[in-house]
Structure 1
Amino acid sequence: MGLIIRILISAVAVYVASVFIPGISVTGGVGTYLIVAIVLGFLNAFIKPILTILTIPITILTLGLFLLVINVLMVYLTAYLIPGFAVSGFISALLFSIVVAIVTALIDAIV
């Protein structure tokens, strides 16, 4: 039950981010938001840790700012995998990842 609630929270966060950030396009309705949330969660759980470990030297040199680049890569990979989800630029992807993280944390705290 907790997993379903987290997916729904993430889908709401994706919706909020897609409404407020220019350059983010989600077409196809509620199902697309859910699929984007699931795929993004899967990539963040399995691919992101591998990339983080592989890029430790760059992350140390940039004082952790390279982790933002990894977040953008996860958003781009999600956009590549989901036909109804499009990202038009680096800044849009960066803002999307930040807004999704903030909205998810806020809704998670409320629930």
Structure 2
Amino acid sequence: MGPFLLRAALTGLALWIVTQIVPGVEIVGGDTTVERVGVVLVVALIFGLVNAFIKPVVQLLSIPLYILTLGLFHIVINALMLWITAWITERTTKHWGLTIADFWWDAIWAAIVLSLVGWVLSLVVRDATRIVR
């Protein structure tokens, strides 16, 4: 349970950083700081579930596009996963969650930034766990 929660927290942090960098991508909902952190964590959990269940199917179906673009289609797939997460969270009764203004530029840039931020955070956590051990 510990690694899962750590991964969810890192994904939430990465998503929050993306909302600070990429215009057109926001996390809405939550009046207080605690509620806002809760919304970010729930969005991160939903994003993790989307990546776990939907992404493998989409990747399998798009193998020809991966080959044709030499792997660059992976960015579009990641943007699509963000878009699906935004679609799911926007459908809540309280209207909280991730919002993406435009798929093509905002979601694509968010996917690129999210990949880079996630990679840097994973390096930091990996180095921190080495020091602790």
Q: TM-score, normalised by structure 2?
A: 0.77
User: 1:61-110: CA deviations, max 9, x gaps?
Assistant: 22222222211111110000012211011211111112122212212211
Partner of 1:2: 3
Distance (Å, rounded) in 2 between the aligned partners of 1:68 and 1:13: 16
Q: What SS class does the counterpart of residue 38 from structure 1 fall into?
A: helix
Partner of 1:65: 72
Partner of 1:105: 119
Structure 1's unaligned 5+ residue stretches are none
Shift of 1:19: 0.8
After superposing the two structures, state which structure 1 stretch, 17-26 or 51-60, moved more.
51-60
Structure 2's unaligned 5+ residue stretches are 30-35, 91-95, 126-133
Distance (Å, rounded) in 2 between the aligned partners of 1:97 and 1:106: 14
Number of aligned positions between the proteins: 111
Equivalent residue in structure 2 for 1:30, among 26, 37, 48: 37
User: 1:34-54: CA deviations, max 9, x gaps?
Assistant: 111111111112211111111
Q: What SS class does the counterpart of residue 63 from structure 1 fall into?
A: coil
The residue identity in structure 2 corresponding to 1:10 is T
**Could you say which structure has the larger radius of gyration?**
2
Percent identical: 35
Partner of 2:49: 42
Distance (Å, rounded) in 2 between the aligned partners of 1:58 and 1:51: 11
Query: After the TM superposition, which parts of structure 1 deviate over 3 Å for at least 4 consecutive aligned residues?
Result: none
The residue identity in structure 2 corresponding to 1:107 is L
